[in-house]
């Protein structure tokens, strides 16, 4: 099994609904995001996927989140903008563009991260 990982970043603000504590108030993060793709087969050039394509796909999604108040975005009006749900949002959007996406991990700080990886079918 081969796997590739790329990282991206975005900055945004959010507040958590239904949460009792500091995070129920408006606050922001400088998020780090890691996308991992995996597969058994390499293409004719010996690559699983070109890093450039994976990075471009991730960055296009992160542009939608960068310098935004996440709670105001359509998706997060319905879904609480937790780290877990942000990871799933990025995964779902990136999986539409790239075959073999394994997982998306988001860091809201150096010490706190959430990962989304779908259950095996």
Active-site amino acid positions? 23, 67, 108
Token readout for 95 is: 């999986």
DSSP 8-state class, residue 63: H
Q: H or E stretch including 35?
A: strand 27-39
Distance CA 45, CA 48 (A): 9
């Amino acid at each position: 099994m081969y796997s590739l990982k790329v990282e991206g970043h975005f900055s945004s603000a959010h507040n958590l609904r239904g949460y009792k504590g500091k995070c129920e108030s408006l606050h922001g993060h400088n998020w780090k995001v890691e996308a991992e793709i995996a597969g058994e087969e390499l293409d004719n050039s010996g690559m699983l996927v070109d890093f450039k394509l994976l990075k471009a796909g991730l960055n296009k999604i992160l542009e939608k989140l960068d310098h935004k108040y996440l709670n105001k975005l359509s998706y997060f009006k319905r879904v609480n903008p937790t780290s877990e749900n942000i990871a799933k949002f990025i995964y779902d959007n990136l999986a539409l563009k790239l075959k073999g996406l394994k997982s998306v991990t988001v860091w809201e700080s150096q010490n706190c991260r959430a990962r989304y990886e779908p259950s095996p079918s």
